[in-house]
Amino acid sequence: MNKTNDISYSSWLDIPIDSDFPIQNLPYGIIKSDKGIRVASRLGNYAIDLLEMYELKYFSNIKGVSRELFSTDSLNNFISMGKEFWTIFRIRLFELFEESNTELRDNQNNREKVLISLKNLTVLLPVKVGDYTDFYSSIEHATNVGTMFRDPDNALLPNWRHLPVGYHGRSSSIIVSGTPVHRPKGQIKHDNEENPIFSESRLLDFELEVAFITGKENEFGNAVPIDETDDYIFGLVLFNDLSARDIQKWEYVPLGPFLSKSFGSVISPWIVTMDALEPFKTKGPNQEPAVLPYLKTTGDKNYDINLEVYIQPELKDAHKVCSSNYKYMYWNMNQQLAHQTINGCNIRIGDMYGSGTISGTTP
């Protein structure tokens, strides 16, 4: 870890003590304000206008930096610069906002140019998602679903402990948090009826997930070795894979989800980098039986990230309905990406990979 993960450091910018966006985070996103659309970071309740900072020469010593990385409506160009660039840029951003650094702190005119209150902007989808895979990597969730949809005594299908099960989703309906979602319609087959009916979904469900965004491409036909997968993962977003369970139950055999999943998949607007998440690495569950060599990882590959879901009806208070943690994932990100490419499948910058619902070890 470097100083950007050291919690003893703080920023000269006033940040609420309970903020998820301290100086140790510095995620990336796309904002729209009266100055237009551009790449930004976030600190407390402010967006950091990275295009404005580039114009003011704060990044002039970073190799490869250009205006095109920031004057755009997606992070894809920025992400394409690679892992070494991501780390160097993050360190520079941290330095500029650390409380002892005077370069920006003591320049009131420049501060007003680069800091935008969240109240004065709109957050947009952070990346152009070329492809989207949704995995099914929580053993507790897979067991719960198998119990509901099939035989409780055989909840896990025979392949589940041997490979990261997944399906190819619909990237066009990935939307940023806050986008209105219409209730889906489709075929529904009730247990006591002979034939299906066409209806609006009556069993609309959330799925608490985390998704990772890829930042490097492999050539078509070339698998990504598992010990190189870290170089391909840029960061994480929260992911609510909305699901129409009544449509899903009828359509998912034999090929899996279709209309039940493609009507709106919601991600958070800020991508948290893997560099920022380094202190939260932790050991994952024991995998039995032992995985095949191409899926074998070394070291801590899971992440200790507390997760909660609240439901807030219109004009009423929010109510917490569940708590979980990303550390419970049976199949980790590295295994998911290695499996995705083992057949020679090529991945692209900005591709998204959902974890599947993250259930924990308790009800």
Active site residues: 141
Length of the chain: 363
Question: What are the distances in angstroms from CA 182 to CA 242, 244, 304, 342?
Answer: 11, 12, 33, 37
Residue 267 phi/psi, 5-degree rounding, is -120, 155
Q: What is the 3-state secondary structure (H, E, C) of the chain?
A: CCHHHCCCCCECCCCCCCCCCCCCCCCEEEEEECCEEEEEEEECCEEEEHHHHHHCCCCCCCCCCCHHHCCCCCCHHHHCCCHHHHHHHHHHHHHHHECCCHHHHCCHHHHHHHEEEHHHCEEECCCCCCCEEEECCCHHHHHHHHHHHCCHHHCCCCCCCCCCCEEECCHHHEEECCCCCCCCEEEECCCCCCCCEEEECCCEECCEEEEEEECCCCCCCCCCCHHHHHHHEEEEEEEEECEEHHHHHHHCCCCCCCCCCCCCEEECCCEEEHHHHHHHEECCCCCCCCCCHHHCCCCCCEECCEEEEEECCCCCCCEEEEEEEHHHCCCCHHHHHHHHHCCCCCCCCCCEEECCCCCCCCC
Selection from 2, 25, 23 nearest residue 235 by Cα: 25
The tokens describing 286, both together, are 């024991």
**What is the spatial distance between Cα 142 and Cα 160, in angstroms, rounded to a whole number?**
9
